[in-house]
Chains A and B, each alone.
Chain A
Amino acid sequence: MVYNTVLGIIQHEADAEDVAQEVFVQVYQSIGSFRGDAKLSTWLYRIAVTKALDHVKKRNRKKRWGKVYSLFGDKDESIHNAAPDFHHPGVQLDNKERAAVLFKALDQLPDRQKAVFVLSKLEGLPAKEIGEVMDMSAATVEGLMHRAKTNLRKLLEKYYSGE
């Protein structure tokens, strides 16, 4: 559940494992502060989503700096592009290629839309629970999901028309 969520957002298996470990380390260190007013799974999802989005932000920052460095002739080998061909291990074989295209489009969405889409599609959470995880109302979650789908549709149509 933690790894699957993180992997959906990060789209890189090794990085997702590292971030999933960080999630468990944080859970271990701050279990005392867990008040119990939310479900443990909600708390876990919240930490996982926050850590994964932080990682994506850091990666994008590195990528931007990488571009700046490349202007001066420096090449940073450690910076890898997020999932140019990411294949989610849980996707059925006949959908692998389409899912890879979808993940590529998903990576271009704003953070909150991406998180809502992943929690809904990969984890199968209802809007109410996603709202608890992301500290927002179910209506807001539905709005974000709608916008995510609209944006994905636009990106995919652009992709297929340019193919």
Chain B
Amino acid sequence: MKKKHHQEETAATLRSLDGAGRAGAGEFFFTRLQARLQQKGSSAWERVTGWIARPSIAIIGLCIILLLNSIIVIRQFESPVSGTDQATLQAFADEYKLQVPTVYDDDKVE
């Protein structure tokens, strides 16, 4: 008897939403929405940071940075270790008169 009563209550409760009307938003919903949209539209920085923070963009950016770094490191290793170029050094020394004068230089005929 009690069980039947519970079942009836349950069935009635399950039917309680039948014919329910639609709930409407508050009075100033669209005014507030408009204000929010304007606020959203004006903050370009927010959009930019939001775009950068997208996982796909962030991962691609990180990959590009790592790739560029790898290229630079590889190039560093590949470039031949340049030995002291005597000709260049001599030319530089001549240009700026870096020779150490000796006593024999005084005897030189100008």
A156 to B20, CA, bound (A): 20
- With beta carbons under 8 angstroms apart, the residue of B6, B20, B37, B40 that contacts A157 is B6
CB atoms of B20 and A90 under 8 A apart: yes
Main secondary structure of the interface of A (DSSP, over half): helix
Contacts A17-B29, A29-B40; A160 near B22 (Cβ below 8 A):
no
Q: Indicate whether A144 reaches chain B with its CB closer than 8 angstroms.
A: no
B17 CB contacts on chain A under 8 angstroms: 88, 91, 95, 99, 102, 121-122
CB atoms of A99 and B16 under 8 A apart: yes
Could you name 25 residue pairs across A and B whose Cβ atoms are closer than 8 Å? A3-B24, A4-B22, A4-B24, A21-B36, A28-B40, A88-B23, A89-B23, A89-B24, A90-B21, A90-B22, A91-B17, A92-B19, A92-B20, A95-B17, A95-B20, A98-B12, A99-B13, A99-B16, A99-B17, A101-B13, A102-B14, A102-B16, A153-B10, A156-B13, A160-B10
Question: Chain B: residues with CB nearer than 8 A to chain A?
Answer: 2-3, 6-7, 9-10, 12-14, 16-26, 29, 32-33, 36-37, 40
B2 CB contacts on chain A under 8 angstroms: 161
Main secondary structure of the interface of B (DSSP, over half): helix
A89 CB contacts on chain B under 8 angstroms: 21, 23-24
B33 CB contacts on chain A under 8 angstroms: 21, 24-25
CB atoms of A3 and B16 under 8 A apart: no
Q: How many A-B residue pairs have CB under 8 A?
A: 83
CB atoms of A156 and B16 under 8 A apart: no
A95 CB contacts on chain B under 8 angstroms: 16-17, 20
- With beta carbons under 8 angstroms apart, the residue of B14, B22, B24, B32 that contacts A153 is B14
A1 to B32, CA, bound (A): 18
